[in-house]
A and B are shown apart, each in its own frame.
Chain A
Amino acid sequence: MPDKEEELPEHPSALRRPADGVPDMPPGKPQSVAADIGALLGGLRMTLGQALQPVVTTMYPEDKTPRSERYRGRHYLRRYDNGLERCIGCELCAAACPVGCILVIAAENTEENRVSPGERYAKTYEINMLRCIFCGYCEDACPVQAITLGPEYELSDTSREKFIYTKERLLEPLPPDVQARLDAKERK
C-alpha cells in the first residue's frame, strides 16, 4: 500500500499537518520588534480614528432606510376613481402565485349589486401573509392592475389568523405617494 502522505503535492499552500510545526515567515520586509510595535500602534490609531467619525447606525424605528419605489411589501387591492373595484375575480393572481397564498372566490356582478366593471368580481379575496414570498408575480399576472405591492414591510402580528389578510384589509387606500406614482404610470 503506497504511503498517502508522500503523494500530497508539495505546494506551499497545501494544508499543514500538526507535526509540521509553524512555517517560516514569508519573505519580504525584515522583521523587527520596533516595526511590530509600530504596527500595533497603527491599529490602535485606526480604531480611535473611527471613534471620532460619525455613527453609521440608522436609528430604527425612528429613522428608516429609504426604500426603492418598486419595493415589494404588503399587497393592496385598488379601486377605480369612480369607486368600483378593479378586481374582476379572474384568479390569474392565484394561478401565478408560486406558493399558493392567494384565495379568490368570484361571484357574478348584477345590476343591483355592481362591485366591479367586469362580468364578475371577487367575493372573497384572501392573502396568507405567512406564506407570501413577496415575489410580485400576482401584480404581473393581473390583467387590470388590481393588485399591487405597497411599501410596508413591518407586518408582524400576534396570531396566525391575523396574517390572513381579508378583502377589507387589502382594499385599504394606498399610501398617497404610491397612488400618485401608479396614476402617473397609467396616464402614459
Chain B
Amino acid sequence: MSIYNDPIGHWVVVIVAMVLLLFVVLTATAYTVWFERVGLGRLQRRPGPNRVGPFGLMQLAADGIKLAFKESFIPEKTDKLIYVLAPCIGVAAAFLAWAVIPIGLWYDVQYWIADVNIGILLVFAVSALNVYAIVLGGYSSNNKYSLLGGLRSSAQLISYEMSLGLSLVPTFLIVGSLRLRDIVEYTVSWGPYHGPIPLVILTPIGFIIYLVSATAETNRTPFDLPEAEQELIGGFLTEYSGLKFTMYYLAEYLNVITVSALATLLFFGGWYLWIVPPVLAFLLKVIAFLFLYIWLRATFPRLRYDMLMRLGWKVLLPLAIANVIVTAIVVVAVQG
C-alpha cells in the first residue's frame, strides 16, 4: 500500500487506526461483559441482565456510570503510587497487544496498526506485563488477601506462560514466520485444494495446550485463583473500588478478547471462512471463543492450588515440549 510509504500519511493512518481501535475494542469489551452475563445466566437457567434497555443491552452503561461515580477510595498505609499505577499497567498492557493484531475487513482490505515481523512475540511480551498489574496491586494494597492473590497470580502466570509460548512454536515451525498476518494467510496445496487452512488441523495438541494455558493466563475460571472469592475475598482486587476496579475489570475482559482473537488468528484461519465476508468471519470466530470461555466458566469448579501447579508443570509443559519436538521432526521430514 502506497500510503504506508509516505511518512506523514503513514502516521495519519496509524493515529486514525488507534482511535478507531480504542473505540471498537472498548465497545467490544463492554458487550463481552454483557455477553458473559447473559450467557452465564442462560447456562444456569437464569435470564441474566434484562432490565436496562432492550435485552439489557444498556446494562454496561448503567454499571459504568455507577462505577465511575463511586468514591475513588485509597486505603491507609497503601503504597499510593504503585496502588494507582497497577491498574493502569493492566489496562495499558491489555491495549498494547492490539497494536499488532491484524483484522481482515474485506477481501483485500486488512486493518492493522503495526505490521511487526515478530508480532506474536510482542503480544506475549506485553501480555506478560499483566502479571505486574496483579502482583503490584496485591503488594501495594497492604492487605494479606491481596498479597496472597498477587503471589498466587505470579506463580500461576509464570507456570503457564511457558506452555503458552511453547504451544505456539509448532505453528511457527509450520508457517515459518512470527508475523500474525503470515500465519493467517498460510496456504496449502493439497491435491485440488489450494487456499488457506485453519492451522488447528495441523497442530491440534498445540491448540488444546494454548486453550488451557490462555485460560490460566487470563485468570479465568477454572484458573481464577488470584481472585478466588471464597478463600481470598477478592484476591488482588480486594482493596480496589470505583474507577481503579473498573480498569482491572476492563483489562481482564480485554485480555479475554485478545486471547480469543489470537486463537482465531493462530489456529482457526483468522478472517477466512468459506464464503463468509472476512470481518464477519473474524467476529463469528471470536464470539465462538468468547462463548467457549463463558461455557468453561459455567461448567468447571476452580482448581486447587497444587492441582493447578501439577497441571501446568507435569502435564502441559512436557506435552508442549513433546509437541514441539515431534512437529519439528515432521516438518523437517516433509520439507526435506
Q: What residues of chain A have their CB less than 8 Å away from a CB belonging to chain B? A: 22, 40, 43-44, 46-48, 50-51, 53-57, 59
Is the beta-carbon distance between B45 and A47 smaller than 8 angstroms?
no
* Chain A positions within 8 Å of B296 at CB level: 44
Complex Cα gap A47–B296 (Å): 9
Stretch in contact with the other chain, from B25-33, B144-152, B155-163, B298-306: B298-306
The dominant DSSP class at the B interface is helix
A-B contact pairs, 27 of them (CB 8 A): A22-B306, A40-B300, A43-B299, A43-B300, A44-B295, A44-B296, A44-B299, A46-B299, A47-B43, A47-B295, A47-B299, A48-B295, A50-B43, A50-B44, A50-B45, A51-B42, A51-B43, A51-B45, A54-B45, A55-B42, A55-B46, A56-B45, A56-B46, A57-B45, A57-B46, A57-B47, A59-B47
B260 to chain A, nearest CB (A): 17
Complex Cα gap A46–B296 (Å): 12
B318 to chain A, nearest CB (A): 13
Q: Using a CB-CB cutoff of 8 Å, which residues 42-59 of chain B contact chain A?
A: 42-47
Nearest B residue to A46 via CB reads B299
* Chain B positions within 8 Å of A57 at CB level: 45-47
Nearest B residue to A49 via CB reads B43
| Known A51-B42, A54-B45, A59-B47; 10 more pairs at CB < 8 Å | A43-B299, A43-B300, A44-B295, A47-B299, A48-B43, A50-B43, A51-B43, A55-B47, A56-B45, A57-B46
Chain B interface residue count, CB cutoff 8 Å, equals 12
Q: What residues of chain B have their CB less than 8 Å away from a CB belonging to chain A? A: 42-47, 295-296, 298-300, 306
A31 to chain B, nearest CB (A): 13
Nearest B residue to A55 via CB reads B47
B296 to chain A, nearest CB (A): 8
* Chain A positions within 8 Å of B299 at CB level: 43-44, 46-47
* Chain A positions within 8 Å of B306 at CB level: 22
Partner of B45, one of A40, A43, A46, A55: A55
Is the beta-carbon distance between A47 and B298 smaller than 8 angstroms?
yes
Nearest B residue to A41 via CB reads B299
Nearest A residue to B51 via CB reads A59
Complex Cα gap A169–B295 (Å): 52
B194 to chain A, nearest CB (A): 35
With a 10 A CB-CB cut-off, give which of B43, B295, B300 has the most chain A CB atoms. B43
Complex Cα gap A50–B45 (Å): 6
* Chain B positions within 8 Å of A50 at CB level: 43-45
Complex Cα gap A47–B44 (Å): 7
Nearest B residue to A33 via CB reads B315
Nearest A residue to B42 via CB reads A51
Is the beta-carbon distance between B295 and A53 smaller than 8 angstroms?
no
Complex Cα gap A90–B108 (Å): 91
With a 10 A CB-CB cut-off, give which of B46, B296, B298 has the most chain A CB atoms. B298
Complex Cα gap A83–B334 (Å): 101
* Chain B positions within 8 Å of A46 at CB level: 299
* Chain A positions within 8 Å of B44 at CB level: 50
B134 to chain A, nearest CB (A): 26
* Chain B positions within 8 Å of A51 at CB level: 42-43, 45
A129 to chain B, nearest CB (A): 28
Nearest B residue to A59 via CB reads B47
Nearest A residue to B301 via CB reads A43
A58 to chain B, nearest CB (A): 10
A52 to chain B, nearest CB (A): 9
* Chain B positions within 8 Å of A40 at CB level: 300
8 closest pairs, A vs B, by CB?
A: A47-B299, A51-B42, A51-B43, A43-B299, A47-B298, A56-B45, A47-B43, A55-B47
With a 10 A CB-CB cut-off, give which of B45, B46, B296, B300 has the most chain A CB atoms. B45
* Chain A positions within 8 Å of B300 at CB level: 40, 43
A4 to chain B, nearest CB (A): 27
Complex Cα gap A57–B42 (Å): 11
* Chain B positions within 8 Å of A56 at CB level: 45-46
